[in-house]
Structures are given as C-alpha cells and as structure tokens.
Amino acid sequence: MSTGIDLAVSTVIFALRPDADGRLVLSIPLVRRTRAPQEGHWALPGGSADARESLAETAARKLAETTGLSAAYLEQLYCFGDPERSPSGRVVSVVYWALVRGEEAELVTDENVAWFAADELPRLAFDHNLIVDYALWRLRTKLEYAAIAHAFLGPTFTLAELRQVHEIVLQRELDPANFRRQIEASRAVVPTGEHVTGGRHRPPRLYRYDASVELVDNGPLTSAGVR
C-alpha cells in the first residue's frame, strides 16, 4: 500500500562562525541543489528517509555526509507536510535542528556547501525559509530555559564564552554578574578548578557542562539511546 508520498529528513544546522571582521555570527550551512526541482537554489542539507534507520540517525548521517559535520546537539523540530510545498509532488519532511561546535564548522570543504548568516539568508528552495525561521525561534526560545548553549563550545569554557553565545543568539547584551548568578543557580555547569592563564586580565575559571542535569524536552524518552 503506497500513499504516493515521499518522506525526507532535513536538518537546520547552527554554528557560531567569525565573519569578515572576526566577529562571531550565528550561521547555517546550506547546500546548492544540483538537480530539479529548484536546481541552483540553496537548500537545507537532507535527503530521503532510510527504512533501516531511525529518523534521528538519518538526520545525523545526512548531516555528516553532506557537510562533514557532527552535531553536539540534535532535536526534532517539526514535520512539514503541506501539499504545495514541493512542485514535484508530495514530500513530507521531518526536520531536525542541530548545534555544532565552532571548530567543527571550519571543517566543511564541499564546494556545494556554503555558510550563511542566520538572519541574512537568500531565497531558499521550497519552504526552507519558513523552516529556518521556525528553527531560529525554537533555538532562541529554548536557550532561555534549557542548558544547550555549551553545545556551541568545547568541553570546557569560561562563563564569558558561554555568555557570548547567549548574546549572539539572543541578539542582546547580558549583564555579566546577573548571567553568572543565573547559570550558577541552574546547576548546569560546574567549575573544573582550572583557570585560563595568559589573558590580559584576571584569569577566569574554566567550567564544564554537568551532564547529570537532564535536558528538558529533547523529545519523548525512548528505551533505546538515540532518538
């Protein structure tokens, strides 16, 4: 029994990358379509669902195959199924969103992959502009109540680095003292005891993410590991 519907999996990938002036910018890698429909347009990385994998596994694999990246955070965003969203027939896309670390982001070499500032996107293929807008909304909303900002950073980081992640994503400055108080109250990070030396000012503490603090709502908890 076939329904005549193609099932695809795509991912909105976020990373913080330096722009021409060296300032970190919230960025998204896009893939140039090399065949119809919408040939030549930029689109989200993705592809057809695979019958042998879970949807999250497919998202992670496609993400790695097309961009060479691996995600520090991966969560299902939404399932898009408007009948008119693709001119070539009915396509239902299960869309994930992912966060990757800054160092990872520089490993992309494929000439058909390019990074764009999240708030300066061109006209994308299909309904992908709508999808990115929704993913951006989710990222910004979730950053305010869930400990996910560390996924942009390495295993250890200073509170100033973590605060900078929040400031770039939320597009507003945050009071350093109040940010410290809020983060410490959340118990999401723990000090390693080490400090960053060699800086021009008082050496800041290094922190790491406390994995014992479970994430709020990364989808339903299944018995198997990867969702």
Q: Tell me which residues touch DNA (CB under 7 A).
A: 158-160, 175-178, 180-182, 185, 195, 197-205
User: Which residue's CB is nearer to DNA, number 158 or number 218?
Assistant: 158
User: Which residue's CB is nearer to a second copy, number 59 or number 189?
Assistant: 59
What CA–CA distance (Å, rounded) separates 188 from 94? 30
Residues in contact with a second copy by the rule CB under 8 A: 1-7, 48-55, 76, 78-83, 90, 92, 94, 127, 130-131, 133-134, 137, 141, 217, 219-220, 222, 224
Smallest gap, in angstroms, from Cβ of residue 77 to DNA?
26
117: partner contacted, choices a second copy, DNA, none (Cβ within 5-8 A by kind): none
81: partner contacted, choices DNA, a second copy, none (Cβ within 5-8 A by kind): a second copy
Query: Helix (H) and strand (E) counts for the chain?
Result: 5, 10
225: partner contacted, choices DNA, a second copy, none (Cβ within 5-8 A by kind): none
2: partner contacted, choices a second copy, DNA, none (Cβ within 5-8 A by kind): a second copy
* One-character DSSP codes across 81-126: --TTS-TTS-EEEEEEEEE--HHHHTT---TTEEEEETTS--PPST
83: partner contacted, choices a second copy, DNA, none (Cβ within 5-8 A by kind): a second copy
What CA–CA distance (Å, rounded) separates 68 from 111? 12
The answer to whether the beta carbons of residues 32 and 40 sit under 8 Å apart is: yes
For residue 37, is the peptide bond before it cis, meaning its omega torsion is within 30 degrees of 0? Answer: yes
Smallest gap, in angstroms, from Cβ of residue 193 to a second copy?
36
What CA–CA distance (Å, rounded) separates 85 from 5? 12
What CA–CA distance (Å, rounded) separates 218 from 227? 9
Smallest gap, in angstroms, from Cβ of residue 213 to DNA?
16
What CA–CA distance (Å, rounded) separates 204 from 207? 10
Smallest gap, in angstroms, from Cβ of residue 135 to DNA?
24
171: partner contacted, choices DNA, a second copy, none (Cβ within 5-8 A by kind): none
User: Which residue's CB is nearer to DNA, number 59 or number 206?
Assistant: 206
Torsion of CA 69, 72, 75, 78, to 10 degrees: -40
